[in-house]
Amino acid sequence: MDPVAVVVLCAQLVKHHINLIVDKINSKITLSFMLQQVSFQALYFWQECKLPIFYLEDIFRDHMTSFASSLLDVILRCSYFQLKDINFSSHFSLQVFKTSLKTCVKASDSTRQNKDQITAMVEQYIAEQLQSSLQLQARNKLTSKEQLWTGILRNMKKETGAITLTHTQLDHLVDTGDHSEAFQSTSNSVLFTCGHHYSKKRFATDGVGWLVSEIISSPVSLPYSATLIKHILNQCQIKPSSCPRCVLQGLHVP
């Protein structure tokens, strides 16, 4: 067969595939991807067989808007396909640059016109995420309250610097009123078996607040757990059952 006829036949085959893709695919994203693949495969075949490139230029010119970005990669040698031997004509290359530039300008103008709308959408998304920190974590990955406290207690046992007291020593501390202002009135003091103690006022303002702040700002942030702990420790009808300082130590011990 005549070599020219072979090239013409190959070009017609490429054009036929492109027309099929354009006619059958409605999604712009899928269409762009498929056309990019076809163009690269055709160019690779043209390069390997050393066929005249102007046959493909005529085909690509009919769909320049769709092919411009991928062809620009080839011209600038940015393509992940090995197409270093493809050299388009100067006139065709200028057409590719012109079409790509027009597309960028059009996209920029569209973005500028919709700037307020896009900003509103982003702000709404951020607000929705801030309303509930639980939305940032899948339900099946949440740590139950029971499991959290079990882990805290287990880690507290690893802390070698914890203070242990017998009941006699604890009674002695309660009876002696010169250790701290927390013991001036046993009804207004908060004493834990670990040995840490606070005045009732200092416990509510400093102890719990400091604990919550440390948990939220720690490397592993637990905003929901911090809120839960704060709620439990601030209930007036029950006595606090966990020392903020030891809870924090339990969380930080690896």
pLDDT per position as a tens digit, 224-236: 666 766 776 666 5
Across residues 130-147, what is the average pLDDT? 60
Q: Which of 85, 5, 79 is nearest to 53 (CA)?
A: 85
pTM of this prediction exceeds 0.75 = no
What gap in Å lies between CA 83 and CA 219, rounded to an integer?
48
Tens digits of per-residue pLDDT, 80-124?
567 778 888 888 888 888 888 887 777 666 555 566 665 666 566
Tens digits of per-residue pLDDT, 143-180?
677 777 777 777 666 655 555 555 566 566 566 544 45
Tens digits of per-residue pLDDT, 30-63?
888 888 888 888 988 888 888 888 898 988 888 8
3-state secondary structure of 61: helix
Whether 11 has a pLDDT exceeding 80, the answer reads yes
- pLDDT for 70 equals 81
Would you place residue 77 in the very low, low, confident or very high pLDDT band (cuts 50, 70, 90)? confident
In which residue are the tokens 């992940």 written?
Answer: 80
Q: Is 195 left (phi over 0), alpha (psi -120 to 50) or beta?
A: left
- pLDDT for 86 equals 85
Would you place residue 133 in the very low, low, confident or very high pLDDT band (cuts 50, 70, 90)? very low
- pLDDT for 238 equals 52
CB–CB of 46/53 below 8 Å?
A: yes
Where helices occur in 52-206 by DSSP H, the ranges are 54-61, 64-75, 90-113, 115-131, 145-158, 167-175, 200-202
What gap in Å lies between CA 162 and CA 246, rounded to an integer?
8
Between 214 and 15, the more confident residue is: 15
Give, to the nearest 10 degrees, the angle between helix 3-24 and helix 28-49. 170
Query: Could you tell me the sign of the dihedral formed by the alpha carbons of 80, 84, 89, 91, in that order?
Result: positive
What gap in Å lies between CA 191 and CA 171, rounded to an integer?
11
